[in-house]
Structure 1
Amino acid sequence: MNNLSQRCILAVGNTGNGKSFTATVFGAQNVIIGHSSKSQTDTITIHKIKNGGFYIDTPGFDDSDEDKGDDDTVRSIFRKMFKEKIQKLTTILWFVTPDVRAKGSYKRQAKFIESLAEYCNGNVWENTIIVTKGDTIQTGPRDAAREIAKEIRRTQIDVLLKTADFKILLFESLKPESVYVKGNFTSEMLNEFGVFKGSEPDRILAKYESLMKYHLNYPIHLSLKIVKCSKCSEENDRRLASSMCHSGTESFHPETECVHVGNVIDIHPSSHFKKHSSHYVDARTQQVFDHSPQAWTVRVFSVGIVNPTCPEFVHGYWNCCGNGDVNSSGCKEVYRCCEKDLHSSGCQRIYDVCRHKIGEPTCLTICRSCKKRSDTNGCKERCNNCKDDNSRNKAGCIKTSHKFSVN
């Protein structure tokens, strides 16, 4: 929009410090560039001014002393300037009041002014005029600007050496008992004390003209640099970026399941021992007697004893091996749990790690994806506010700072 033959003046400061009045001093016309809504105090208005050029009237910054900044105001100013294709600023008018309590506000505004030249080799403070509303200049704004400049530029050099000061007190705002009103001073004398009449805007303009003498030759270039946030989908110049991002990340397991630990195996739960078969043969009569536990139970219920004829066994043998000694050790090894052969497959199914039986309640919760326990560090990451595991590819969910990569 603007070129080197045009002035482009950016007015910065809190509401009520004289930004809109100064627009009229520069001959702001009714022609407004772009869209301006209901109130000049809460929108960015770009006026055409006399002799070509533009005056950008901005919303007031937060007046509180909390060091939280006013990101929405800053973002709106940058977006408006880039939207209207303003590529160079010749002068920054920083409107302040001599208030010792406003250090936090001064620092936020100074940080914004410093950011105007973020990708420019120029010194934005050489194009800045600190306009103090009153007849006394305080060091607060300048000290805050030095602090911010040193912090951002990481230098001990005073970059505000060529920053101009302009104290201005409107004669019409003074009380009748003011010494400037009662003294019947000429306009020239009033101007020496920083008092100007609103009815004489040319005198105010002349003061600005003298302070802006070399600004047109060394403008501040507004450049863009696109960076990507590592926490959300924002990809923009950091000064234009949305205030919404994702908060910190947390690890999580996407889907869990309850399981037993280990593989399923077949086992015999008890030890093994040697035994004979359940049948004993009387060598004299060749009568076969059943010695199984089931037969013992039947005899106990029928005759009251386990085996009424067993004490008479002096000759005989086990049917399984022909061993005649009723008290001899068994001829084969079996498991006590099921009396199956020693080499038989297990009679019970369990998990080989946790040793739980099939059908028993599960003993562990694990992640389906990585198979690790659910109480270990997760195998995926997500936003710890909205819990979206695809948050890096989506717009932010909370008002917080971005984490832009540095190229």
Structure 2
Amino acid sequence: MLDTSLSQRCILAIGNTGNGKSFTATIFGAQNVKIGHTSKSETHTITIYPINGGFYIDTPGFDDSDEKKSDDDNKRSIFLNMLELNIQNITTVLWFVESDIRAKASYERQARFIESLAQYDTGNVWDNTILVIKGTSDANSQGPRDAAREIAQEVHHTNDDLTSNIGEFKIFLFERLLPESIYVKVRFSSDQINEYGVFKESEPERILARYESLMKGHHENPIRINLRKVKCSKCPEETDPRLALPECHSEMESFHPNTENIHQGNVIDIHSSSSDFYKHSDTYVEAKEKHVFDDSPQAWTVRVFTFGGINPTRPRLEFGYWKCCNNRNVNSRGCKQAYRCCEKDIQSPGCQKIYEGCRHKHHEAPCLEICRFCMKRSDTEGCQKRCKNCKKDPLNEKGCSKETNHNFIN
């Protein structure tokens, strides 16, 4: 475990690959031993070198794209490595850039990360930052300075220039100059070429001396990282915001988790018609033909002439009748009140099953969808919350979108 107390120096190198971060590590006496994680691509490795009096953190380039790692991935990896090695203080930030005023977007992303180092510190991170510009003394530093000032003013909600104390080191290696360069043709002394930002690799002590002069006061007033643990209200992340995974949940929506289709009310038996119907409850006895004594004049004449030998009769039709009430009128109104739907009397139970609340028949499709948890209608506000995008529980399922910011609650 590295000693990360205030007595130790911690230099953090930020910038794109190829601008001299690894070379500068050797200037500070970086040993061959590397502490930290490795990866397939050196441009995406966070390498921590032990140096004289502390350690040097070489970070991946923010614009490197071999593995398509986002800025957030780089930031998180840097902070995680610091946390793993118990690094809580940064003495100096070396910001490696080229003199290209057109790279505004790149400078803004890097400046935003540098500003995040002191997110929970009362100090000003730019007081401990040195711009290391790849180029001779005429190299332009306005691009990164403008980006740093804009980001600082945005974060701290001020119009003051918080970046006025940024150090600046314009450096170009003598060995990489073209043969036609004036610094090569004319045999200047080391002091002379150093004034123009040209340094020899064979004289690392001169480069180190310039760094040391620019770092004066940094060791006594380091940047305190102050890693903290806070909870996001929209996803399971509970960590320092700078260490959080970029995915969070989008807009929340309410829903009912378990619905079912039902009818309203209990099943009851009813008659579907009114009871203004009357009927006979028994059978009707049909009328029968019956021969009776014929007392007509014609019949008496027959009897006289036959001296009573023939006793004429005649057929007669008796009236039919209802057995239940002995009513002889076949068209008479029934003697008992009943329901038309089933012709059962008014004391009989209903002949049809329906739901008491919605009055739908028992065999019909359900008419209402309700939640089994809260017993409310499915078209009312839900009793639980979920992510509108992935439909998952936001507090127990990993975030689903990199387009949504975390909402950390202090």
Structure 1, unaligned stretches of length 5 or more?
286-311
Larger of the two Rg values belongs to structure: 2
The alpha-carbon deviation at position 92 of structure 1 amounts to: 0.5
2:135 — aligned with what? 134
Distance 1:313 1:358, change over 3 A: farther
Distance 1:377 1:313, change over 3 A: farther
Q: Give the Cα–Cα distance (whole angstroms) in 1 for the partners of residues 252 and 91 of structure 2.
A: 43
Deviations 1:288-346 (A, max 9, x none): xxxxxxxxxxxxxxxxxxxxxxxx99989765557776665544432111122234331
Q: Give the Cα–Cα distance (whole angstroms) in 2 for the partners of residues 316 and 35 of structure 1.
A: 112
Q: Give the Cα–Cα distance (whole angstroms) in 2 for the partners of residues 208 and 169 of structure 1.
A: 14
The alpha-carbon deviation at position 378 of structure 1 amounts to: 3.5
- Residues 269 and 337 in structure 1, CA contact (< 8 A), matched pair in contact too: yes
> Is 1:382 matched up with 2:386?
yes
Output aligned runs, 1:34-183, within 5 Å. 34=36, 36=38, 40-50=42-52, 52-62=53-63, 70-135=71-136, 136-183=139-186
Query: Structure 1 length as normaliser, TM-score?
Result: 0.81
The alpha-carbon deviation at position 82 of structure 1 amounts to: 1.9
The alpha-carbon deviation at position 132 of structure 1 amounts to: 1.1
Q: Give the Cα–Cα distance (whole angstroms) in 2 for the partners of residues 63 and 143 of structure 1.
A: 22
The alpha-carbon deviation at position 94 of structure 1 amounts to: 0.4
The alpha-carbon deviation at position 129 of structure 1 amounts to: 0.5
Q: Give the Cα–Cα distance (whole angstroms) in 2 for the partners of residues 5 and 106 of structure 1.
A: 31
Residue aligned with 2:338, SS: strand
Q: Give the Cα–Cα distance (whole angstroms) in 2 for the partners of residues 162 and 191 of structure 1.
A: 22
- Residues 69 and 108 in structure 1, CA contact (< 8 A), matched pair in contact too: no
Q: Is 350-359 or 132-141 further displaced after alignment?
A: 350-359
Task: Percent identity, please.
Answer: 62
Output aligned runs, 1:231-380, within 5 Å. 231-277=234-280, 278=282, 320=324, 329-374=333-378, 376-380=380-384
Pick from 18, 25, 44: which aligns with 1:23?
25
Q: Give the Cα–Cα distance (whole angstroms) in 2 for the partners of residues 313 and 372 of structure 1.
A: 72
2:206 — aligned with what? 203
Q: Give the Cα–Cα distance (whole angstroms) in 2 for the partners of residues 357 and 98 of structure 1.
A: 83
Distance 1:150 1:271, change over 3 A: same
Task: Say how many residue pairs are matched.
Answer: 377
- Residues 28 and 49 in structure 1, CA contact (< 8 A), matched pair in contact too: yes
The alpha-carbon deviation at position 134 of structure 1 amounts to: 1.4
The alpha-carbon deviation at position 173 of structure 1 amounts to: 1.7
Query: Structure 2 length as normaliser, TM-score?
Result: 0.81
- Residues 232 and 406 in structure 2, CA contact (< 8 A), matched pair in contact too: yes
Q: Which amino acid aligns with 1:93?
A: L
Distance 1:284 1:245, change over 3 A: closer
Distance 1:313 1:377, change over 3 A: farther
Structure 2, unaligned stretches of length 5 or more?
290-315
Q: Give the Cα–Cα distance (whole angstroms) in 2 for the partners of residues 69 and 34 of structure 1.
A: 20
Q: Is 119-128 or 142-151 further displaced after alignment?
A: 142-151
Pick from 194, 197, 205: which aligns with 1:194?
197
Q: Give the Cα–Cα distance (whole angstroms) in 2 for the partners of residues 127 and 156 of structure 1.
A: 20
> Is 1:214 matched up with 2:197?
no
Q: Give the Cα–Cα distance (whole angstroms) in 2 for the partners of residues 153 and 97 of structure 1.
A: 27
CA RMSD of aligned residues (A): 3.2
The alpha-carbon deviation at position 243 of structure 1 amounts to: 3.5
Q: Which amino acid aligns with 2:183?
A: Y
Deviations 1:29-49 (A, max 9, x none): 223345556665321222222
Q: Is 75-84 or 264-273 further displaced after alignment?
A: 264-273
Q: Which amino acid aligns with 1:121?
A: T
Residue aligned with 1:216, SS: coil
The alpha-carbon deviation at position 200 of structure 1 amounts to: 1.9
Q: Give the Cα–Cα distance (whole angstroms) in 2 for the partners of residues 57 and 351 of structure 1.
A: 75
Residue aligned with 2:408, SS: coil
